[in-house]
Structure 1
């Protein structure tokens, strides 16, 4: 089976499962899909891609909290803009560390935190479980593709020739 079709199938099934599970656990379904997307878009593959995606998502959550907390300490609106500029620089420069070298993952974590009004206690687990679901979607799709391709090859080899 074509890997894209297999990944599409497993992604569809697991997306439905995530939708149900996230609501059942009181998590943010949409934030989980951001964690999933972060894994799928990661420049690294497999467990390394998952780890890098999760680390950068969590760093983005932390950076968003820095902006939120520091901005709330002052009445001047300009402070929020200055903090956003400084922290955005930091979110990018941290990519000098290989394990944080996925800038979009950092911004995904920060954006999710802003969208949830700083409620990091629900954003972080939603992103992490979403990342695990993304990893499961791709891994199970690749496994399904390989299994069906091997089954196809085995049946083709064992069929007698009609020549």
Structure 2
């Protein structure tokens, strides 16, 4: 079995479990899938990739709140657009720091916050648990592939 098939199997199983978990805990399943997607898209792998995707997702939540609350201080629509421009610059510029270097993760966190009307209290745990599920999907798929490959090798040696 290829690593892709093994990861596909574990991702399918854990996606169903995530859907149930999110519903049971009152979380946003779609935001969790964004956290999962962020991990899968991260240029880093393993725990380092998980940490980077979670940190950039969290920074995106903060940046979105800066835009939301900063724009609300003024009664001019143009201020919101200007805030978006300035904050978007900083969302990219923060990538100078390696641990905040995954720019798409930052935008994923911000977009999730905007989609949830700024409800960061529900977005953060949804993104974080989703990221952990993403990590688990890939790690368990690679583990499954390794186990099946080892078993196949042992059977070849026996014959």
When normalised by structure 2's length, the TM-score is 1.00
Deviations 1:60-103 (A, max 9, x none): 00000000000011100000000000000000000000100000
Q: Distance in 2 between matches of 1:99 and 1:142?
A: 25
Residue 59 (structure 2) aligns with: 59
Q: Which residue of 2 aligns with 1:22?
A: 22
Q: Which residue in 2 is equivalent to 1:88?
A: 88
How far off its partner does 1:150 sit?
A: 0.3
Residues 5-43 of structure 1, C-alpha deviations (whole Å, 9 max, x = no match): 000000000000000000000000000000000000000
Secondary structure of 2:43's counterpart equals coil
| Consecutive unaligned residues in structure 1, runs of 5 or more | none
Q: Which residue of 1 aligns with 2:9?
A: 9
Please, what TM-score do these two structures have when normalized by structure 1? 0.97
Partner of 1:109: 109
CA RMSD of the aligned region, Å?
A: 0.3
What is the distance in 2 between the residues matched to 1:45 and 1:115?
28
Unaligned runs of 5+ in 2: none
The alpha carbon displacement at 1:138 in A equals: 0.1
- Provide the secondary structure at the position in 1 that maps to 2:151: helix
Pairing 1:79–2:69 present: no
Between the two proteins, the alignment pairs up a number of residues equal to 159
Runs of 4 or more, structure 1, over 2 Å off, are: none
